[in-house]
């Protein structure tokens, strides 16, 4: 993943970027919401957001409905980075799908989802990546 993104001009890829950017690209999220979706503490989410801000992929804005809340919003560079991540993941998934029987992929996905610690973790996984279609 990192090597492919580097080839697209994103040499600063971090593993946490993929999930965070895909979530934020759907809609702006409060730092606490992002942390809850990712299953990390608010402090860890703040650190992740600070890294995105430092690299100019995101910024914090006041929520127009509640001025006490600050939401994470992608910058134009962040939107392009998120699109590159999604395209790279889709390409990698397609390549894997061409190498492995589809029924085996469905079974592997089911095993990995079942291995998640609790229903909350499974819901977070489903929010990030839908199970493969039969």
Distance of CA 78 to the CA centre of its chain: 12
Q: Which positions ≥6 away from 13 have C-beta within 8 Å? A: 1, 2, 5, 6
CA-to-CA dists, residue 29 to 61, 84, 117, angstroms: 10, 20, 24
* CATH class assigned to 2-99: mainly alpha
Note the pLDDT of residue 33: 92
31-68 in b/e burial notation, b at 16+ Cβ within 10 A?
A: bebbbbbbebeeeebbebbebbeebebbebeeeeeeee
pLDDT tier at 6, thresholds 50, 70, 90? very high
pTM of the model: 0.82
Q: pLDDT tens digits for 45-97?
A: 999 999 999 999 999 999 888 888 899 999 999 999 999 999 999 999 889 88
d(CA 50, CA 57) in angstroms, rounded, equals: 10
Question: H/E element holding 69?
Answer: strand 66-74
Percent residues over pLDDT 90 in the chain: 60
């Amino acid at each position: 993943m990192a090597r492919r993104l580097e080839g697209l001009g994103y040499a600063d890829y971090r593993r946490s970027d993929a999930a965070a950017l895909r979530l934020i690209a759907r809609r702006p999220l409060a730092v606490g919401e992002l942390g809850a979706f990712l299953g990390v503490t608010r402090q860890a989410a703040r650190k992740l957001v600070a890294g995105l801000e430092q690299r100019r992929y995101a910024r914090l804005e006041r929520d127009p409905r509640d001025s006490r809340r600050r939401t994470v919003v992608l910058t134009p560079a962040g939107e392009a980075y998120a699109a590159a991540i999604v395209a790279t993941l889709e390409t990698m998934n397609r390549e894997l799908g061409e190498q492995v029987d589809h029924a085996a992929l469905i079974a592997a996905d089911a095993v990995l989802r079942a291995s998640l610690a609790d229903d909350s973790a499974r819901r977070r996984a489903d929010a990030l990546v839908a199970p493969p279609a039969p």
